[in-house]
Structure 1
Amino acid sequence: MPDFPSTTTRRQVFGGVTAGLVLPCVLAACGQSSPGGSPAPSGAGSSTPPPSANPSTPSGPLAALADLPVGGGKLVDGVGGRKVLLVRTSDTEVKGYDPTCPHAGATVQPPTGSTIKCPLHGSTFDAASGSVTGGPAKTGLKTVAVKVEKDQVLLA
């Protein structure tokens, strides 16, 4: 065992050993740098292709209007792997919501009648407006702009 001065504590010894082990790990987690020492540009050194020029536009319709019964809804894939809750409020109108409950982040379920419910803690939301109708959530669902064109539901 190394000879330490009598005033050195175990905490100082093990703290130094821990720092010696952790520091390289922390530095490795910081990512790659360009030759000038600044962070590498996004996507550099990875096999992931850069995002498309307009990542907010999906390549096609979210759903067919016929797949959404009036008064009902459906969870669909939106942009970037995010879900969208589509709710058909009339023969020609569809509302879009972020299905993330503002209370605890659970995914709300498609409506039953005029109510959207969170299965985690029971918060309820109005299907036509997304506003909160029963807690514990304090705010309503965030809207996602959608439109109906040629019997297809698209992001607006």
Structure 2
Amino acid sequence: MCGLVAAALSACGESAPRKTGGVGSARPGDRVTPAASVPVGGGVLVDMPGNAQLLVVQPRPGEFRAFDPSCPHVGSLVNPPTGGVITCPLHGSAFDPETGSVRKGPATTGLSEVEITLSGEELLLS
């Protein structure tokens, strides 16, 4: 019987490809997400072309940043910030949502920033 656990999905031939961090096949000028979709003090994981994702955050009103959400420790995708911190669900690394710098290991380096710009109501790759 298939479907009891997520691992069983791959045995049934129904597994979805694992998302990776980064811009995928997107190019400068491509749309990332509407600015209104990113909560102040929080963030969202945004699907990008090529089965990739970006983490877009808004630490203060009108200030947007994007990071490759791959944890530098082992590559697991981090969660959007809650309580002023970005966390990795796998081993608990914590990162600053304003800079991406590591606050708590086991990661020893921060998240890689991806340049974005606000154009009207849209966030675009720079």
| Normalised TM-score (structure 1) | 0.61
Pick from 64, 72, 75 the counterpart of residue 94 of structure 1. 64
User: Which structure has more helix as a fraction of its residues?
Assistant: 1
| 2:56/2:67 contact within 8 Å kept | yes
Displacement of 1:80 in angstroms is 2.7
Q: C-alpha separation between the residues in 1 aligned to 2:80 and 2:26?
A: 23
Q: How does 1:1-156 map to 2 (within 5 A)?
A: 55-57=25-27, 60-156=30-126
User: Which structure has more strand as a fraction of its residues?
Assistant: 2
Give structure 1 stretches of 5+ with no counterpart: 1-54
Secondary structure at 2:60 match in 1:
coil
- Counterpart in the other structure of 1:28: none
When structure 1 is superposed on structure 2, of 122-131 and 72-81 the one drifting more is 72-81
Q: Which has the higher contact order (CA 8 A, sep 6+)?
A: 2
Superposed CA RMSD: 1.6
Give structure 2 stretches of 5+ with no counterpart: 1-24
Structure 1: 4+ residue segments shifted above 6 A:
none
Q: C-alpha separation between the residues in 2 aligned to 1:114 and 1:67?
A: 18
| 2:29/2:125 contact within 8 Å kept | no
User: Are the structure 2 counterparts of residues 56 and 62 from structure 1 closer, same or farther at C-alpha, using a change threshold of 3 Å?
Assistant: closer
Displacement of 1:145 in angstroms is 0.7
| Normalised TM-score (structure 2) | 0.75
| 1:57/1:79 contact within 8 Å kept | no
- Structure showing greater radius of gyration is 1
